[in-house]
Every structure is written in C-alpha cells, then in structure tokens.
C-alpha cells in the first residue's frame, strides 16, 4: 500500500495568530499502518457488549480499540485516509506544554526490597526520559496548528475537542483554537484545581491549576450535565427544559413563587476540584504527566455517550483510553513514545481482562443487584499498529540522556539546536536512527553561520557515520581556527565511546506439549532473563558499586504469549502483567496446546521498555 495525499480544510476563524514559519496545511501525506499486536480478552466467548455503531467502521480494521505508535501527524493522516473523517465524537488531548523540560518517569525493578543488592544500598533505575518538552516557540505553535487542523477533520459535526494546557502557552493555544474551530464554537474554559499539590516556594504565586479548553465542531454539540455531591444538603430552585423555547426555565407555583427542592448534589461548574494522583494509588503508573481517571471521567461523561468514539493522539499513560473503556466508549489512542504505547497496552489489557470476568455469566446468576451499574464495554479487544515504519526498538530520548550522562554534557534547555555543552564545546547529538551524513553536518554549519559571534568548537555525537561524512569533516576543519567539529562515534571512539555498544535483551525460554488429544497442554517456562541495558544503567548510576540481581523476574515488566505466531502480528493469548510494583511475573504458564508444528512466540518486556520475542516450535 503506497502513501496518498489527503485534503485538509482551511482555518476560517478570526482573529488569527501569526508566528515565524506559519504555514497552512492544505494536504497531508497518509502512510500505511502495520499491525504488530492484537489482544482479545474474550477467549472466544460471546460476552455482552455495549451497542455501538460499527456498521461504518473501516472494513480492514478489527472492531475494537486501536492503539497507534508513530508521529501523531502521520497517524491522524492515516485515520483520515482510512474512513474516520467526521466519525470521532470526542477528542481529548494533553499535548506538551512547551515547559522547557524533559519529562521522565521513575523506573524501578520489580519485587520486594532486597531483590537487587548493591552493597546494602537501596536501588532504583532512576529516571527514564519519556519525551523532551523543549521547543523554539514558533515551532511549537506550528506543531499544534497542524495537528488541530487535522483533528477538526476527524471530528463529528456534533463532536467536541478538549485541549489540556497550562499558563505557559494557554493564551496562544486559545487563539489557535479560535482560528481553527471558530470563536463562536468556544464552549468553556474548565479550570482543573488540584489542592493537594505542594508549592514550589518560588518568587511568584504557586500554580495549582491547569486549563482545559472546550470547543465544538459546530454550535450543536452533545452535552450531558454532570451532578456532583455537595457537602451539606441545600434547597435549590427547580428547573425544567422548555422544548418550545429550547431552554431551561425556573418552575414557579400558582402564586408565582419559585419552587425549591432539597438536594444533595449540584451541577458541575467550570472549576473541577480533582486531586493529583496519590503516590500510592493503584492507578499510578509513574508515567510523567499522567492525569487522574476522575478528571477524564467528567470529560468523557459530559461530551459523549456509550458507544461513541473517543480519540487521544497524545495518549501518554493511557488514561483517556482506560476511562473510555470503563465508560463503554470506543477509543483510539496514539503516541510517538514507545513507553507510552507499552504503558497504555498494559493498563488496557488488565482492564479488559477484569471486564471480561465481570461480563461472563455467573452460575448462580446476579444474586446482589448493582445500584449503579457501569456501562457495558463497547469492546473487549484492541490492536496495536505502527505507522510510517516508526522504529519501535529505539527510544531516542532515552539514548540521548544516557549519552549526555556518559559524556558529561551539561544540558542547555533554552537552545533549540544544540543539546548542551561539554568542556567549553557545544554539543550536537545527531538522531540515532541513522549514521552521520553530510546533510547533518551542513545543518551544524548553517546553524553556526546564523551565530556569527559564536567561536566555540562543536562536539558532534553520532551512532555510525558515512564515509563521505569523514571527508566532509576533514575538509571543513582544515585551516579553521574556530568552530572546529569533533565527532564522537558512540560505539568506537577510543576515549569516549562504548556507551551505545548495545547488547540486546536475552532469555532462556522453553515450551513443550503435555497430555494428548483434547487434554493436551502447552507449558511455557522462562528460566532466565538478562538485560545488559539495565545492568549498564545500574552501574552508570551507582559508580563503583556493582549490582547483583538475585531473581531475573525483577528486571521483567511483563510477559506476553502468542501460541500461533504468524511472524507478523502478535496475537496475545496470555498476558502476565503484575498489578503492583512489588509483584513479579509468574514465569511458568499452561495454556491449551496449539496444533502440532505451531510457532509459539514469547514476548518479554523489561523495566526500561526493551522488547524481546523468542520463537519456539512445538
């Protein structure tokens, strides 16, 4: 399947914000998607599901949740080209805030204290960079502008978009939303107030809120009022909808006096008081910027109905998809970050497995009625896709952070081109998904030309380099007193190399058949897992101390098994995802035996997100 161009409508709203490099998005290139994993919690059972409008669902896609890994601009273009134009009822996005910081998640090994020994010290893998929120301001605005233009095309006529942001770019984002969706379609600015966050002891007032801007595709949007409890019961005037006048009216008695009734609830307003996630909460994933499920329940509940389609193209920790699944909505999520895809997939797998158990008929029936039953799920399966051949094996930000630590680079958050400085030199890290080329070097030279007063040399960090790049550097440095280029190839440099000498995850796994006929079972056993990356990072963090991991399960985040792997799409027949951080994977599994000669695939994901698939024939 070849890429194709998709039309995108012009923004017609006023006023219009201007920035350097602003370009309308008349067309966008749509790339094919490759299915890489499928999960089905029904185990072949016909379980009751929410009625949903699957009739116009794209024929080439399974009827279930969709999780895409790739640049969201590519993913949104793919959705436009494949039948989702005008089909999405609700979009919630929590994009980067242009905060000038790296967002990290805390990474620890699994198991109780003492599983990992470093001369008696407690051990943590420290922080893993998930994404860098460092932008040149104009680039950030163009980034958001393009994605909002495409999102509008995907939105249904009665659909809504909720955009989550903070005080740094909120005023500019509001202008872009007015331009793309029209100021007349602005509905609310919701203030998320979190009173349980600690102050920063800064020289200004501490910030205890974010903003969520709500816009409609048109003047007609779905809105379901939300009732919230009040601390004390109180008398409230009675309202009733007048169909003829198309508005709410206060009811009066025969004498013209307002009618009142005692109420323990009230309509939710535009200030939502929801605590940030407690460090001990079960829903906490340690993913940066994770939002509380309670916050998303109000968003999803007020602007969509069971069976509707919800989209989050900055899915992060997966909270939007989780809440949509809980509330009986269909959902699509995507993210460029591999850690986000893995975190979301784990949460959805756990949730769907729980929902499948609840949906299965009980032998004794429902003995105790549920006062407020949750909506049935719209699906109990989901598929993961990759768009534009995005490399699932490389976490670029993680590699950059490790390289900076190894090389002693001081990060510069305000420089949009150079990553930092080291020993009086500027540092430029070339993306690790390709070797150093003359084009990369030209970009460095052009940047230096734009800085005529800059006299420092430049350390260029790369992973491999083309032969013609060596000649380019030699020619460039000849007779140059300032701005010389010093190339560090991270695998081979005699003095500074060795950090990206990647040794892949390895494992000892066995699979065998037991029993015969209908009673035949497949027994899969993982005997050992070794993660050189974790050991390397551990030793880098701890310096002179050496680590001893006494139980291999401490380095494993989860294990997935496909009993009939076709070599292309991983269909999850079993998912071992420990619920708590101190819990370990089982390591030994029994499943119904597949036909003789089948390929059994065992996918092992370590605590840093590295994946290994072991194929065994049984």
What pLDDT is recorded for position 169? 87
Q: Give kind and range of the element (H or E) at residue 263.
A: strand 260-267
Domain pair 4-25+33-52+61-100+135-226+268-360+375-387 / 506-617, same fold: no
Rg (C-alpha) for the chain, rounded Å, is: 27
| Domain assignments of the chain as residue spans, ordered by start | 4-25+33-52+61-100+135-226+268-360+375-387, 227-267, 396-431+433-489, 506-617
CB 381 within 8 A of CB 64: yes
Which of left, alpha, beta for 569 (phi over 0: left; psi -120 to 50: alpha)?
A: beta
Please tell me the distance from the alpha carbon of residue 203 to that of residue 392, in angstroms, as a whole number. Answer: 43
User: What would the pLDDT profile of 374-403 be if each residue is shown by its tens digit?
Assistant: 789 999 999 999 887 544 334 566 677 778
Q: Residue 132 to residues 96, 211, 484, 487, 542: CA-CA distances in angstroms? A: 9, 21, 28, 24, 25
- Could you give the CA distance from residue 337 to residue 102 in angstroms, rounded to a whole number? 13
Tally of CA atoms within 13 A in the half-sphere of 450 that contains its CB: 7
Q: Is the pLDDT of residue 407 over 90?
A: no
- pLDDT confidence band for 441 (50 / 70 / 90): very high
Helix axes 338-359, 319-326, angle to 10 degrees: 10
Q: Report the pLDDT averaged over residues 318-329.
A: 97
**What are the beta bridge partners of residue 580?**
none
Region 4-25+33-52+61-100+135-226+268-360+375-387: CATH code: 3.40.50.150
| 560-608: pLDDT as tens digits | 999 999 998 999 999 998 877 788 999 999 999 999 999 999 999 988 8
User: What does the mean pLDDT of the chain come to?
Assistant: 85
Q: Which residue has the higher pLDDT, 442 or 119?
A: 442
Inform me whether the pLDDT recorded for 102 exceeds 60.
Answer: no
Write the secondary structure of 394-457 as one string of H (helix), E (strand) and C (coil): CCHHHHHHHHHHHHCCEECCCCCCCCEEECCEEEEECCCCCCECHHHHHHHHHHHHCCCCCCCC
**How is 520-548 classified by DSSP, letter by letter?**
-EEEEEEEEEE-HHHHHHHHHHHTT---E
Q: Bigger pLDDT: 273 or 124?
A: 273
What's domain 506-617's architecture? Sandwich (2.60)
**CA 529 to centroid of chain Cα atoms:** 27
Q: Using DSSP, how many helices (H) and how many strands (E) does the chain show? A: 10, 33
- CA pair distance 539, 154, nearest whole angstrom: 48
Over 70: is that where the pLDDT of 179 sits? yes
pTM score, two decimals? Answer: 0.74
Mean local confidence (pLDDT), 449-461 = 93
Question: What is the rounded end-to-end Cα distance, in angstroms, of the chain?
Answer: 34
Q: Report yes or no: 212 and 164 within 8 Å, Cβ to Cβ.
A: yes
């Amino acid at each position: 399947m070849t890429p194709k161009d998709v039309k995108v409508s012009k923004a017609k709203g006023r006023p219009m914000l201007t920035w350097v490099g602003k370009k309308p998005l008349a067309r966008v290139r749509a790339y094919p998607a490759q299915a890489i994993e499928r999960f089905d919690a029904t185990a072949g059972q016909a379980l009751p599901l929410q009625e949903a409008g699957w009739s116009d669902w794209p024929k080439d896609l399974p009827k279930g949740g969709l999780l895409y890994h790739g640049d969201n601009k590519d993913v949104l273009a793919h959705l436009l080209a494949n039948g989702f134009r005008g089909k999405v009822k609700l979009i919630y996005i929590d994009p980067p805030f242009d905060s000038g910081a790296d967002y990290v998640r805390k990474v620890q090994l699994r198991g109780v204290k003492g599983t990992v020994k470093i001369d008696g010290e407690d051990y943590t893998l420290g922080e893993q960079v998930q994404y860098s929120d460092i932008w040149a301001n104009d680039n950030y605005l163009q980034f958001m502008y393009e994605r909002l233009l495409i999102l509008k095309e995907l939105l249904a006529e009665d659909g809504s978009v909720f955009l989550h942001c903070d005080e740094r770019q909120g005023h500019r984002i509001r202008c872009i939303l007015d331009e793309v969706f029209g100021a007349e379609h602005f509905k609310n600015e919701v203030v998320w107030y979190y009173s349980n966050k600690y102050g920063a002891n800064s020289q200004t007032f501490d910030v205890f809120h974010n903003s969520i801007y709500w816009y409609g595709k048109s003047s007609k949007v779905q809105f379901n009022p939300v009732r919230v409890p009040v601390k004390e019961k109180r008398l409230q005037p009675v309202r009733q909808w007048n169909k003829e006048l198309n508005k709410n009216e206060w009811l009066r008695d025969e004498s013209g006096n307002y009618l009142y009734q005692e109420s323990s609830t009230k309509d939710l307003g535009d200030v939502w008081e929801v605590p940030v996630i407690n460090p001990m909460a079960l829903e906490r994933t340690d993913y940066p910027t994770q939002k509380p499920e309670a916050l998303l329940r109000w968003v999803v509940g007020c602007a969509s109905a069971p069976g509707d389609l919800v989209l989050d193209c900055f899915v992060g920790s997966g909270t939007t998809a989780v809440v949509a699944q809980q509330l009986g909505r269909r959902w699509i999520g995507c993210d460029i970050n591999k850690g986000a895809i893995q975190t979301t997939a784990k949460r959805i797998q756990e949730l769907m497995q729980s929902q499948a158990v609840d949906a299965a008929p009980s032998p004794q029936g429902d003995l105790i009625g549920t006062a407020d039953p949750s909506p049935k799920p719209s699906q109990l399966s989901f598929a993961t896709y990759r768009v534009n051949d995005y490399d699932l094996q490389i976490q670029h930000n993680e590699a950059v952070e490790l390289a900076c630590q190894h090389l002693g680079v001081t990060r510069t958050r305000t420089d949009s081109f150079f990553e930092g400085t080291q020993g009086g030199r500027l540092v430029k890290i070339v993306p690790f998904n390709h070797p150093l080329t003359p084009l990369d070097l030209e970009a460095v030279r052009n940047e230096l030309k734009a800085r005529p007063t800059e006299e420092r040399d430049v350390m260029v960090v790369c992973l491999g380099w083309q032969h013609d790049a060596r000649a380019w550097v030699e020619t460039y440095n000849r007779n140059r007193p300032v701005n010389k280029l010093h190339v560090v190839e991270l695998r081979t440099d005699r003095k500074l190399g060795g950090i990206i000498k990647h040794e892949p995850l390895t494992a000892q796994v066995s699979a065998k058949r037991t029993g015969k006929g209908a009673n035949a079972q497949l027994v899969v056993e993982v005997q050992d897992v070794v993660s050189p990356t974790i050991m390397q990072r551990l030793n880098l963090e701890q310096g002179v101390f050496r680590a001893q991991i006494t139980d291999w399960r401490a380095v494993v985040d989860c294990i997935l098994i496909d009993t009939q792997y076709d070599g292309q799409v991983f269909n999850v027949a079993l998912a071992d995802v420990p619920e708590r951080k101190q819990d370990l994977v089982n390591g030994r599994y029994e499943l119904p035996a597949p036909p003789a000669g089948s390929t059994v695939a065992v996918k092992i994901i370590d605590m840093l997100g590295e994946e290994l698939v072991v194929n065994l024939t049984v």
